[in-house]
Amino acid sequence: MSAVGVALLGAGNVGGGVIAALGAGGSRYTATVGRPLELRHVLVRDSARARPGIGAAAVTTDIATVLGDPAVAVVVEVMGGEEPARDYIARALAARRHVVTANKEVMAKHGASLLALAEQHGVSLRYEAAVGGGIPIISPLSRDLLANELTAITAIINGTTNYMLTGMARDGVDYAQALAEAQRLGYAEPDPSADVEGIDAAYKLAILCGLAFHVAVAPEDVARSGITRLGARDFRYARELGYAIKLLASGRVVDGGLVASVQPTFVALDEPLARVDGVLNAVQIEGDLVDRVLFEGSGAGPGPTASAVLADVLDIARDIVVGRPPGAAVTPRPVAVHAPGAARARYYLRLTVVDRPRVLARISGVLGDHEISIASVIQAETDEHARTAELVITTHQAPGSAIAAALEVIRVLDVVVEVGNVLPMVGGARA
Ligand SMILES: NC(=O)c1ccc[n+]([C@@H]2O[C@H](COP(=O)([O-])OP(=O)(O)OC[C@H]3O[C@@H](n4cnc5c(N)ncnc54)[C@H](OP(=O)(O)O)[C@@H]3O)[C@@H](O)[C@H]2O)c1
């Protein structure tokens, strides 16, 4: 019984998890596939380092060695980064190797061309691990939910920021302290910008929107703001109002155009996403037939990510054994991308104002001029020394563009010292 040859590009966190799982689950996987899987090559940068679970002969630093081996049927890319990962994936596909990748950056930026290349060469390109780690979401969107007109994706898809936001809510600490703690525990990189600026989540959302709405989406189509401006006071007000603050990735099609954003958002405490804490991820999908489904679980880590990577490997290996050709992906169509202001939401506005009478009247007047009605007002944290006060306003539903236009006026009022955070709100009272 000839084995199905597998090569790994990368043996770090995820690659190490794949190697460990292959070692532990070998006989089970043989039974599942009908033939054993054989790990033939492991590509790394540093071949001198000892690698537990890998024979030294399998370690290489040369992609040509991997692609020159005719017994390799499946190439698993878990190196990360855009290049040379994209180049190696393209070369593997052109050499008629099936590819499994965990690389959200490559799939978000180059997924369409790589999927076309795979189809052209009659091989599969699978990427379940690229979004949500261990959570099955690519496969459900590609298959199980196909009968639906999907209307919305709302997701928490970055574990680092969710860990930090959970800590800020629980411990009352500020952004800098939450980041230091996440870095100490290894949840945040020394350079955290990809996570805290929402870049990582935007890659994942672009992939999800492309699949869910069958449209061509680039990461730049996702409007993005990170969590760096959030302070302990925002969490205090959120709690007082009955909300959590989450970095929400959300995509929907409005008037035939895509509105996609990654931004800190007030999420009502009775919404399931408000209770997704720590490093957990969750993806909520809404469709005309299925209503609402929620996928929740570990979005990262060697075990969960290996679970997703190996599911793709096993599925491809079964196809190879039974001689089933790869299924074609649904062809995406071009879509107009709407500015985020096109969507309506309720908003939380935190302002520092001069502590004197009629300030609220002036601000509410500007909001009224833009047809934005106020739902609630909290006046708190008066600084008697500076003679300023903090004003927290929540609004009824309004277009983001109206909020932005009103803020332009409010920002320059002589009674306004600073516009703090302005965040959309989901769930809770509908108005
Ligand atoms: N970490 C997670 O939990 C997680 C979850 C979901 C998806 N992902 C995705 O999985 C991928 C891998 O992440 P990771 O955390 O496992 O990364 P990692 O720990 O940094 O490991 C990267 C591995 O790739 C090798 N490598 C990097 N650049 C290379 C190059 N130019 N040539 C040859 N080998 C190279 C490294 O070799 P050396 O060992 O010699 O340095 C290392 O073995 C990324 O795309 C990431 O976004 C990760």
Residue 353's nearest CA partner among 343, 341, 361 is: 361
C-alpha closest to that of 404 among 428, 378, 423: 423
At a CB cut-off of 8 Å and minimum separation 6, what does 394 contact? 241, 346, 347, 348, 349, 374, 375, 376, 377, 425
Mutating to test ligand 1, I would choose from 8, 67, 79, 305 the residue with most ligand atoms within 8 A of its C-beta, which is 79
**Homologous superfamily of domain range 138-298:** Dihydrodipicolinate Reductase; domain 2 (3.30.360.10)
Kindly report, as residue ranges, where domains of CATH 3.30.70.260 are found in the chain: 343-426
Establish whether residue 343 lines the binding site of ligand 1, counting it when its CB lies within 6 angstroms of any ligand atom.
no
Residues in CB range of 422: below 8 A, 6 or more apart: 347, 348, 349, 350, 403, 407
Q: Is the CB of 13 under 6 A from ligand 1?
A: yes
Cis? peptide before 334, omega within 30° of 0: no
What pLDDT is stored for residue 51 in this prediction? Answer: 85
Residue 392 main-chain phi, psi, to 5 deg: -115, 120
Is 390 strand, coil or helix?
A: strand
Q: Is 63 close to ligand 1, i.e. is its CB under 6 Å away? A: no
pLDDT by 10-residue block (mean), the chain, 431 residues: 93 95 92 96 93 84 97 98 98 98 97 95 97 96 94 96 97 95 93 97 97 92 96 95 97 89 97 96 97 95 96 97 86 79 91 91 96 93 82 96 96 95 86 42
Could you give the residue range(s) of every CATH 3.30.360.10 domain in the chain? 138-298
pLDDT at res. 429: 64
Q: Is 11 in the pocket of ligand 1 (CB under 6 A)?
A: yes
3-state helix, strand, coil in the chain (%, to 5): 40, 30, 30
Structure tokens belonging to residue 310:
């190996």
pLDDT, residue 339, reads 78
Q: What is the pTM of this model?
A: 0.95
Q: Which atom of ligand 1 is nearest to the CA of 49?
A: 40
Ligand 1 atom nearest 14 alpha carbon: 16
Q: Are 390 and 337 in contact (CB under 8 A)?
A: no
CATH 3.20.20.30 fits 343-426, yes or no: no
User: What is the architecture, at CATH level 2, of domain 4-134+302-322?
Assistant: 3-Layer(aba) Sandwich (3.40)
What six digits make up the tokens of 332? Answer: 């995406």
pLDDT at residue 431 in the model: 42
Residues with Cβ within 8 Å of 82's Cβ and at least 6 positions away in sequence, in order, are 105, 106, 109
- In the Cβ-directed half-sphere of 118, how many Cα atoms lie within 13 Å? 27
Q: Do strands 223-224 and 72-77 pair parallel, antiparallel, or not at all (unpaired)? A: unpaired
* In the chain, ranges of CATH 3.40.50.720 domains: 4-134+302-322
End-to-end, the C-alpha distance of the chain in Å comes to 65
